[in-house]
Amino acid sequence: MTKIKSLFISLVLTLGVSTAIAGSHGSTHDLVKERGKLMCGSNTGLAGFGAPNDAGVWEGIDVDVCRAVAAAVFGDASKVEYVPTTSKVRFTVLQSGEIDMLSRNTTWTLSRDVDLGLEFVGVNYYDGQGFMVNKSLGVSSAMELDGASVCIQVGTTTEMNLADFFKANDMSYESVPVETNSEADAAYTAGRCDVYTTDASGLYASRAGYPDPSAHVVLPEIVSKEPLGPAVRHGDSEWADIVRWSLNAMIIGEELGITSANVDEMKSSKNPEVLRLLGVDAGYGAMLGLSDDWAYNILSQVGNYSESFEKHIGPNTPINIQRGLNALYKDGGILYAPPFR
C-alpha cells in the first residue's frame, strides 16, 4: 500500500516538475536566432490588421510589428512565420511556446497582463468598443438599445464590455453569439441581429465594405478602452525589451521624421537622437543584444508607424480610419514612446 502511495506521489511530482520545466522557457532571443525565423501569432484574417493578400503574403499593422521585430533581430523583415490564431487559442499558443510573440489586435488588460502570465510590451493601436446599427432603426444613441439583439464574438473583452454597459444602464439585450469577426459582420448584414458591436476600427472597416455605407450609423458612445498591442510571455524581460523597442523605434521614427524613403539621408543628420536611433552613434544595439543598425533595419524595411498606419488602415485605404487617438502626442493623439537615449 505504501509502495503504491509513494509511486503515486513520485508520479505527481514528476508531472509537476515537468510542467514547471515546460513553463520556464530558455531565452526566447537565443531560441529565435537559432531557429532563424520569428514565430509570430497573427489573426486568422482581419482587414488592415493582419490578413494574407492574394499572393499569400501577410499584411497589416499588426503584421508590421512582427516584421519590425524580425528586422531588428535578423536584419530581414521577411524572416517571420505567421501562426494564425483565433481569439480563443491565442494565449495558450503563446504560453506553450509555439509562438515567440503575439500581435493580433489583443486588448491589454490587467487580468491578461497579470493572471494569464503575459507581458504586453506597448500599444500599437488605441481602440474602443462602439455600436453600429441600421439607420432605419432610428436609434441615435446607445442608451436607446434596450431589448436589442446584439451579434457578439465569444471569448473577447467585447463580450464583457457589452454586458457591463447594459447592466450599468439597466437595459437588457439578446446576444447572438458568433465565432469570428467576419461571421459577426455577416450575421449583422443578414439581419440576424439589430446591433453589431466590436472595436470602432472594426465597425468602420465593415461599414466601408457595405454596398450602401450610409445606411448604417456608428453610435457616438464608445464604451471601453481597448489598447491593442503585442504581447510576449512573462519572465523573459530581455525578449520583451526587444519587442517593446522595436515598436517604439517605429513610433520614434515618425516623431523624428525618419521614413523608409529618407532613412539613408538621415544617417548624416545633425540631431543626436536620430544618430543614436540609426546606430551611427554605436552602443545602443548592444544593450538589447542586437546589432547597432537594428532600428535602421526596421525603418528602412518596415517604415515608421505613420507609414504602416497609412498603408494599411489610413484614410486612403478602404478602411478609412483617421489617426485620432493614434496620432503622436504632439499632433493631438496619445501615441507616445519613451526617449531613445
Partner 1 sequence: MSSTTIQIISRSKYYNWLVKNLFSSWVNTILTVIALIFVYQVGSFFLNWAIFDADFRYNFQGELIIDRGFCSKNIMPGEYGACWAIIFARWNQFMYGLYPIEEAWRVNLIYALLPLAIIGILFDKIPFRRYFIYFTFIFPFLAYFMLYGGPGLSVVGTNKWGGLLVTLFLGVTGIGLAFPLSILLALGRRSKMPIIKSLCVVFIEFIRGVPLITLLFTANVMLPLFLPDGVNPDNLLRALVAVTLFQSAYMAEAIRGGLQAIPRGQVEAAQSLGLSYWQTTRKIVLPQALKIAIPPIVNTCIGLFKDTSLVLIIGLFDLLGIGRAALADMTWTKLYYEVYVFISLVFFIFCFGMSRYSLYLEKKLKTDNS
Rounded to whole angstroms, the Cα distance separating 294 from 299 reads: 9
Least distance CB 236 / partner 1 (angstroms)? 12
- Judged by CB under 8 A, the stretch of 61-69, 77-85, 143-151, 265-273 that binds partner 1 is 77-85
Nearest to 60 by CA among 36, 37, 84, 38: 84
66 and 50 in contact (C-beta within 8 Å)?
A: no
Site for partner 1 contains 22 (CB under 8 A): yes
Rounded to a whole number of angstroms, the minimum distance from the CB of residue 89 to partner 1 is: 6
Find the binder of partner 1 among 318, 322, 334, 338 (CB under 8 A): 318
Q: Determine if 141 is a binding residue for partner 1 (CB under 8 A).
A: no
**Total residues at the site for partner 1 (CB under 8 A)?**
48
Question: How near is the Cβ of 319 to partner 1 at its closest, in Å?
Answer: 6
What does DSSP assign to residue 175? E
Q: Of these, 47, 252, 299, 302, which contacts partner 1 (CB under 8 A)?
A: 47
| Cβ contact 47:62 at 8 Å | no
Task: Please select the residue that binds partner 1; options are 14, 27, 78, 92, rule is CB under 8 A.
Answer: 92
Q: Of residues 43, 197, 297, 301, which one binds partner 1 by CB under 8 A?
A: 43
What are phi and psi for residue 74, nearest 5 degrees? Answer: -105, -10
Min dist. Cβ of residue 304 to partner 1 (A)? 22
Count CB atoms within 10 A of the CB of residue 218: 16
Q: Is 84 in the site for partner 1 (CB under 8 A)?
A: yes
**Which one of 4, 54, 111, 168 is in contact with partner 1 (CB under 8 A)?**
54
| Contact set for partner 1, span 203-222 (CB under 8 A) | 205, 208-212
Pairing assessment for the beta strands 125-127 and 226-228 based on DSSP bridges: antiparallel
Contact 142, 117 (CB under 8 A): no
38 binds partner 1 (CB under 8 A): no
DSSP sequence for 227-264: EE--EEETT-HHHHHHHHHHHHHHHHHHHTT--TTTHH
Backbone angles phi, psi at 72, to 5 degrees: -70, -40
3-state secondary structure of 304: coil
Closest distance to partner 1 from the beta carbon of 102 (Å): 12
CA dihedral sign, ordered 242, 244, 247, 248: negative
Question: Could you say whether residue 109 binds partner 1 (CB under 8 A)?
Answer: no
We find the least distance from the C-beta atom of residue 41 to partner 1, in angstroms, to be: 9
Closest approach of partner 1 to the CB of residue 85, in Å: 5
Phi, psi (rounded to 5 degrees) for 15:
-60, -45
One character per residue 156-195, x = contact with partner 1 (rule: CB under 8 A): -----------------------xxxxx--x--x------
Distance CA 61, CA 48 (A): 7
Judged by beta carbon, residue 6 or residue 18, the one nearer partner 1 is 18
Beta-carbon contacts of residue 178 (< 8 Å; ≥ 6 apart): 151, 152, 153, 154, 184, 187
DSSP letter, residue 97: T
Given candidates 32, 40, 46, 162, which one binds partner 1 under the rule CB under 8 A?
A: 46
DSSP 8-state code for residue 194: S
Binding site for partner 1 (CB under 8 A): 15, 18-19, 21-22, 25-26, 43-48, 51-54, 56, 81-86, 88-89, 92-93, 95-98, 179-183, 186, 189, 205, 208-212, 317-319
